[in-house]
Amino acid sequence: MSYDLVVIGQGYVGLPVSQYAAMSGLSVVGLELNRETVENLNKGISHIGDISDSELSEMLAAGYRASSDAEVLSAARTIVICVPTPLGDAGSPDLSAVESAVRSLAPRLSPGALVVLESTTYPGTTDDIVLPIIEAAGKSLDSDFFLAFSPERIDPGNEKYGLKNTPKVVGGVSAESTRRAVDFYSRFVDTVVPVKGAREAETAKLLENTYRHINIALVNEMAKFCHELDIDLWDVIDAAKTKPFGFQAFYPGPGVGGHCIPIDPNYLSYQVRKQLKYPFRFVELAEEINNSMPGYIVRRVQELLNVDSRSLRGSSILLLGVTYKANVADQRESPATEIAEILERGGAEVRYHDPFVSKWEYANTSLISETDYDQAVKKADVVILLQAHTEYDVDALAATSIRFFDTRGGARGAGAHRL
């Protein structure tokens, strides 16, 4: 038996790839090391917020299945790698999962198989790491196998753009690899954009997120001095975005979260330092500014407490929304974690509410979401809106709070203090 596609990794990136491919009629196997995840997927139980149990059931009915057996790789016409690429302890890219996946597939490749890396990484990974591992297994490019990079562009919780209608960038390590990768993705993605090579595709992904990282840092820095100058930055942004050209609105917040913004620009910065021996100063400055926001948020909370002649120690602080993004359950790299840790070190009593997170664990702390958050809002010395989930009526909450600190700019009433 052969499969049109085996997707290595069934997380936030890999499972949507499996979904769209399976629903387009391709025979798909999701290869996942976590046996419990495999069992649940095959039972129709999804662990990804953007894919419901009913949608997973449709995938299974279309022929999709999950497996933890690497031997399925030997029957795949195309293999897409969607494994995590976190930063290591020293801040350098950790490609161990990518390398492990490639070493597993290299000796198992069927003749003419296409391999595509989707995991975000630094420029040159596909050419300099993935290709040599496969060639070391005795395979020849453009005869035994084909190889490309295609950056994932999954935006969790986005109801307008999904994998199908978001243009797919593809760059192969050879012209024929690019052509075959374009043909593959065109089977279930509306628009496929071929680029010069794998390095260009890798760098395109990093440019996208570095652009966001730097512009978020810009408005975060402005938020600090606009507060000191008594300027309403949110009103400033609303005014600036009326210009129909030359400006794109970015907004300040308590920090950056998710897998992409806090991590991806560091891959580019790492490669520049490694190969060119000088810093990517924009990225490093943006990281410094964005990483300073949790501490700044706590200082603003202390200022509010001082107005009421209270100290941080012993005060009750309620956090609203602890996910990294509104209306999703994803907590990866959420700045709420660092804010809570700083508050606790200062002696505050931290509570939280989030409609998407019933139990929140960070450091050595485990908290349960407040069941009656309306009452919790009234009792807290300071309420901090960290994530503007649509469930929250921000102005109503601000009106019933002792002190309401809005880090997302949603409050318009006089009772709120905005970032």
Name the residue with tokens 């005014």.
239
The DSSP string of 236-258 is: HHHHHTTSSSS-------S---T
The DSSP string of 346-399 is: TT-EEEEE-TT-SEEEETTEEEE--S-HHHHHHH-SEEEE-S--TT--HHHHHH
The one catalytic residue in 79, 260, 386, 419 is: 260
Q: Give the C-alpha separation, 243 to 396, whole Å.
A: 31
Q: Give the C-alpha separation, 152 to 168, whole Å.
A: 8
Question: Which residue, 272, 257, 160, is CA-closest to 213?
Answer: 257
Beta-carbon count within 10 A of 111 CB: 8
3-state secondary structure of 141: strand
Q: What is the CA 73 to chain-centroid distance, rounded? A: 27
Cite the DSSP H helix spans in 171-257: 175-185, 198-228, 233-240
Query: Each residue of 275-313: b (16+ CB within 10 Å) or e?
Result: eeeeebebbeebbebbbebbebbbebbbebbeeeebebe
Which residues lie below 8 Å from residue 276, measured CB to CB, with a gap of 6+? Answer: none
Name the residue with tokens 């509410």.
353
Beta-strand ranges (E) seen in 244-345 are: 316-320
Which residues pair with residue 192 across a beta bridge? 168
Which residues lie below 8 Å from residue 231, measured CB to CB, with a gap of 6+? Answer: none
Which residues pair with residue 147 across a beta bridge? 115
Q: Tell me whether residue 82 is one of the annotated catalytic residues.
A: no
Strands 365-368 and 316-320: unpaired
Among all residues, which ones are annotated catalytic? 260
